[in-house]
Structures are given as C-alpha cells and as structure tokens.
C-alpha cells in the first residue's frame, strides 16, 4: 500500500519524537509498503527569519512570503530540515532521498492568487510522480520539502498540507496522514472529533471553531478525499507508532476525515 505522511515542523524539534516517527516509517517499509514523507518546517523557518531580523506574518494560516523569506525557506526547508529527516531515517537503517518540488519537475507551481497578495506563495499546478516511483523501486523513502518550481523559473513556498495532498493524489496513495502537534480536530465543545465529514467543515469554519493553520489542513484533506484517496487522518505526532496499524486496525487517536 502507499502512504503519504505529512510531518509538521514542530515534531522536527523533538529528537525522541523524530526517532519514533522514523522507526514507524521504517517498519512500514519493512512490511512492504511504499511511504513518502512531505514536510514543512514553519517553526524552523520562523526562527531563522527572526535571526535575520524579519517578522513572520500569516494570513489564513499561510505565510506572507517576500523574496527574502522565500530564499530563506528554500535554505531551511529544502536544506537543513530535509536533510535532517533523511539522516533520521538513515539511523533506522532506512534509505531515504531528499528532494524539493523543483527536483525532476515532480511538482510545478503557480502563484497563488489571493487578496491581499502573499508574495511567493504558490499552489501546485502540475505533478509528475515518476521520480517518486523510481525512488520507491529502489526501496527508499522520498522525503519532499514543500517548495516547488514555477513555470516562470521562480521557487514558490507551498503550504506543506497542500503539498501532501498533491503527493497523495499524484501517487494514488491509499492513505494520507497528517502528523501534527495537536491531538486532532476539536469541536465546539473542545473535544477531539474522532470522525469529521466534509459537509461539517464549512459550518465549523463559519463558527470559528476551526481557524488558522487547521484551515489549509482540512482543505487538503478535502482535496485528497475528493480525488480518490481512501483514508485521510489527522494524527498527533506522539501517536506515530500506530502508523503500521492504520489500515488494518481500529485507531482511536486523532481525527478521521471522511467524505460522508
């Protein structure tokens, strides 16, 4: 089976958690599954920008990205964060190949049209998963940072949740899992919703029950499900050990997002 696992930047800050995630992914591969990791790095990028004297600004969960911020994102996400993940998997004996969306034209981007303008923030315009297939055939794990090359020759910062959905859709993945620093999607009562249907999301958004970074995540869940991805789950990173059981067993952690 094919898994796409999206890993957020917060989990990358905890070595013991990263070790557990690496082991779970290595176990999946050992069981014969194909796994791709898509990662963000917002925490690390914000720290780097702060050291550069730049203040980070977000609109609807998306980072406003001028040229200097974009260049920093390329350095942090496609560089240090990506290679740290490759090294972490290597410690588990699992070969991994780190790429960004510009490598091999796996992902092509276009500027995201928003008001106000977000700068070098893009959305996926085209995909070519042949390089991912080649990495899988070699028994390795593709580790994809959320930067993609536009048709205009510019790199664009892509929301990692959107990149994960695009990866799952392009590879016809069986499962898309978002490993996060929250226990799941919380309802109006503050409790984690174990199941969430797509038709419930607009009302939760209207009531401001969900906001900020959860908005692009749930949009990504919707895109993946409507494109045929069978299972989509938002899972706390601390529960990564259940990844090998996600398809075959009942998992109570996190939120399962469903079409209906």
Q: What residues are designated binding site for substrate?
A: 41-42, 63, 157
Residue 184 CA: distances (Å) to CA of 195, 238, 246, 254, 255 = 10, 12, 15, 4, 5
Tokens of 145: 């940072």
Q: Is the N-terminal amide bond of 165 cis, ω within 30° of 0?
A: no
- Give which of 139, 98, 147, 101 is closest to 121, Cα–Cα: 147
3-state secondary structure 71-121: HHHHHHHHHHHHHHHHHHHHHCCCCEEEEECCHHHCEEEEECCCCCCCECE
**Separation of first and last alpha carbons in the chain:** 23
Q: Which residues are part of a known binding site?
A: 41-42, 63, 157
Measuring CA to CA, how many Å separate 89 from each of 98, 171, 248?
11, 21, 24
- Find residue 81's DSSP bridge partners: none
């Amino acid at each position: 089976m094919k898994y796409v696992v999206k890993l957020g930047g917060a989990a990358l800050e905890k070595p013991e958690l990263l070790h557990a995630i690496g082991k779970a992914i290595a176990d999946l591969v050992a069981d014969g599954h194909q796994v791709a990791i898509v990662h963000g790095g917002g925490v690390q990028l914000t720290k780097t920008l702060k050291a550069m004297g730049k203040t980070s600004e977000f609109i609807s969960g998306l980072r406003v990205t001028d040229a200097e911020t974009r260049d920093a994102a390329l350095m942090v996400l496609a560089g240090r964060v990506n290679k740290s993940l490759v090294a972490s998997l290597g410690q588990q004996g699992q070969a991994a190949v780190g790429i960004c969306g510009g490598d091999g034209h796996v992902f092509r981007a276009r500027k995201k049209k928003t008001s106000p303008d977000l700068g070098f923030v893009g959305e996926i315009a085209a995909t070519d998963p042949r390089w991912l297939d080649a990495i899988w055939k070699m028994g390795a794990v593709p580790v994809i940072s959320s930067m993609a090359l536009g048709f205009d020759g510019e790199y664009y910062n892509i929301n990692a949740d959107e990149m994960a959905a695009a990866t799952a859709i392009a590879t016809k993945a069986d499962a898309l899992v978002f490993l996060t620093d929250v226990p799941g999607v919380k309802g109006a009562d503050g409790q984690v919703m174990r199941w969430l249907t797509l038709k419930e999301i607009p009302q939760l958004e209207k009531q401001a029950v969900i906001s900020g970074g959860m908005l692009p995540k749930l949009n990504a869940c919707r895109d993946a499900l409507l494109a045929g991805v069978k299972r989509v789950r938002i899972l706390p990173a601390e529960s990564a050990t259940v990844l090998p059981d996600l398809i075959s067993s009942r998992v109570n952690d996190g939120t399962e997002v469903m079409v209906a």
